[in-house]
Amino acid sequence: MAGAWTRRIVLGCLAAIIAAPPLAAQETLKIGAAISLSGNFSREGGLLRDGYELWRERLNAGGGLKAGGKTYKVQIVYYDDESKAQTSAQLTEKLVSDDGASFVFGPYSSGIATATAVISERYRALTLAPMATANSLYARGYKYIFTPSPLADQGLVPILELAKGLTPAPKTVAIVGPDDLFPNITSDGARKRAESLGFTVAYTGKYPKGANDLSAVATQIKSVTPDIILATGYVQDSILLIKSLRELQVSPKLIGLATAVGVQDFRTALGPAAEGVMGVDYWVPTLTWKDPLFDDSAGFAKAFEAKYAKPPTFHAASGAAAGVVLQLAIEKAGTVDPTAVRNTLLSMQGETFYGPFKFDANGVNTLAGLNVSQIIGGQPKVIFPVAVKQADPIYPRTGQ
């Protein structure tokens, strides 16, 4: 608590110096955030909060939020939802009805965010949920929840779009992953997109979550000899899958994962076998989309490192981007009335360092896309979309 007080005092002094000749009396815009600071999602929740905080601090340091001739200092009230949906509902209720927050920043994970959304929907508090991307959450007709991030069914789509343009043209696809909420959505989305792009989906398989042996799955994949193998799993099971494929000498032209391949564990565990593997990222520091607060992704990464002394993750980037989206919408709407801001969000198109945005009536960002990276020479390089690529894809892959 002492840290928070010191920070407040320092910030207060800073604000006093910057705003030396006090113009109009400044108002406060309160945003509520019940996120996981303990329990299963405490790590991701903490990273997300870092993003929200960086946005708030930078915005306030630049004078605050301007809307309709007034200037607002942004205050974010945080509570710990303990990674529990029930607690999140209770705290969101407190944030909106007791603490007077008319805007809400969502938690990490769709399960918890659904509980948050029910409450904010009832009170018409505009909610930005950058790290809640399950399609089901945005298919319920809620009017007040928005996400700047791509939804779960898009998880492998950019790899397929990239593959479509490669020569020699790959023809057959195998999709495999654990039987779990996110992987299942990603798998369905990939299957549909593969078929619409003209690929033949030769195999789709699921294995139990946490499986320790994937040799049976690898044997089945071997029997269909696909050009492309797509895996919807998390880092650990993707490592296991690639090892099992290697043991059976299955070498497809392309291996695509629904997780980031830049993770150090991944490269360490696989060594040369990681070479040529593709993965997707919500955000990479080389993106060149622009916004007025951070300029671009390099600007965000620099500001983040200056504040936290560690490199940013996509969680933090998505959190800060959600802040920028809200900021742009409020400034354009010229009011802090959540319903008016919602209507503006629906009609506007814009860009943050995280990517472009245009929302449909369900709060889904129709311009959101993932970035594809490939391990080339032992390092992850962005290869897709073309506008932000650092290297050309290596195809067919050359890894062992």
Partner 1 sequence: MSGKRQLILATVLLIAALAAPAFVGNYWLRVLTTVFMFGVVAQGLNVIVGFAGYHAFGNSVFFGIGAYATGIGMTLGLPVWVAIPVAVAAAALIAAVLGWPFLRLRGHYFAIATVALNAAATEVIINIGGVTGGAQGLPLPFSSLPPTLLYRIIYFAMLATLVLATAIVFWLSRSRLGYALRALRDSESGAEVMGVDTVKAKILAWTISAAMTGSAGGLWAYWLTFIEVGTAFDISISVRGYIMMLLGGMGTVIGPVIGAALFQLVGDAIWSHFSGIHNLLLGALVMAVVLLVPQGVLDSLSRLRPPARRPRRAAEA
Determine if 238 is a binding residue for partner 1 (CB under 8 A). Answer: no
Strand, helix or coil for residue 96: helix
- In the complex with partner 1, the residue whose CB is nearer, 43 or 171, is 43
Q: How far is the CB of 266 from partner 1 (least distance, A)?
A: 24
Q: How far is the CB of 280 from partner 1 (least distance, A)?
A: 21
Longest dimension (CA), the chain: 75
In 3D space, the residue among 135, 117, 101 whose CA is nearest the CA of residue 32 turns out to be 101
What interhelical angle do 235-247 and 215-224 show, nearest 10?
60
Determine if 287 is a binding residue for partner 1 (CB under 8 A). Answer: no
- In the complex with partner 1, the residue whose CB is nearer, 113 or 221, is 113
Q: Please give the size of the binding site for partner 1, defined by CB under 8 A.
A: 32
| CA dist., res. 367 & res. 364, Å (int) | 9
One of 57, 123, 348, 391 touching partner 1 (CB under 8 A): 123
Q: How far is the CB of 1 from partner 1 (least distance, A)?
A: 8
In 3D space, the residue among 400, 386, 391 whose CA is nearest the CA of residue 255 turns out to be 400
Determine if 114 is a binding residue for partner 1 (CB under 8 A). Answer: yes
One of 80, 153, 275, 296 touching partner 1 (CB under 8 A): 80
Interacting stretch for partner 1, rule CB under 8 A, among 107-115, 168-176, 281-289, 308-316? 107-115
Q: How far is the CB of 184 from partner 1 (least distance, A)?
A: 6
What secondary structure letter does DSSP report for 279?
A: E
Q: How far is the CB of 256 from partner 1 (least distance, A)?
A: 22
In 3D space, the residue among 375, 396, 385, 391 whose CA is nearest the CA of residue 261 turns out to be 375
- In the complex with partner 1, the residue whose CB is nearer, 80 or 275, is 80
Q: How far is the CB of 4 from partner 1 (least distance, A)?
A: 10
Query: Where are the extended beta strands (E) located within 36-69?
Result: 65-67
Return the residue matching tokens 């965010």: 113
Determine if 134 is a binding residue for partner 1 (CB under 8 A). Answer: yes
Dihedral Cα 249, 253, 259, 264, nearest 10 deg: 70
Determine if 79 is a binding residue for partner 1 (CB under 8 A). Answer: yes
- In the complex with partner 1, the residue whose CB is nearer, 37 or 270, is 37
Interacting stretch for partner 1, rule CB under 8 A, among 52-60, 132-140, 217-225, 346-354? 132-140
Q: How far is the CB of 30 from partner 1 (least distance, A)?
A: 15
Return the residue matching tokens 């942004």: 74
- In the complex with partner 1, the residue whose CB is nearer, 136 or 288, is 136
In 3D space, the residue among 127, 126, 94, 125 whose CA is nearest the CA of residue 110 turns out to be 127
The CA distances from residue 134 to 149, 180, 200, 364, in Å, are 11, 12, 26, 11
The CA distances from residue 267 to 87, 92, 272, in Å, are 38, 40, 8
One of 7, 8, 43, 122 touching partner 1 (CB under 8 A): 122
Residues 155-214 that bind partner 1 (CB under 8 A): 179-181, 184-185
The contacts of residue 302 (CB under 8 Å, 6+ apart) are: none
Residues 26-45 that bind partner 1 (CB under 8 A): 37-38
> Do residues 260 and 280 lie in contact, with contact meaning Cβ atoms separated by under 8 Å?
yes
Q: How far is the CB of 333 from partner 1 (least distance, A)?
A: 24
> Bridge-partner residues for 207, per DSSP?
178
Determine if 361 is a binding residue for partner 1 (CB under 8 A). Answer: no
- In the complex with partner 1, the residue whose CB is nearer, 124 or 222, is 124
| CA dist., res. 364 & res. 10, Å (int) | 38
The CA distances from residue 19 to 14, 23, 72, 76, in Å, are 8, 8, 13, 21
| CA dist., res. 284 & res. 292, Å (int) | 19
- In the complex with partner 1, the residue whose CB is nearer, 205 or 356, is 205
Interacting stretch for partner 1, rule CB under 8 A, among 14-22, 80-88, 189-197, 274-282? 80-88
Footprint of partner 1 (CB under 8 A): 1, 37-38, 78-80, 82, 84-86, 89-90, 93-94, 97-98, 111, 114-115, 118, 121-123, 134, 136, 140-141, 179-181, 184-185
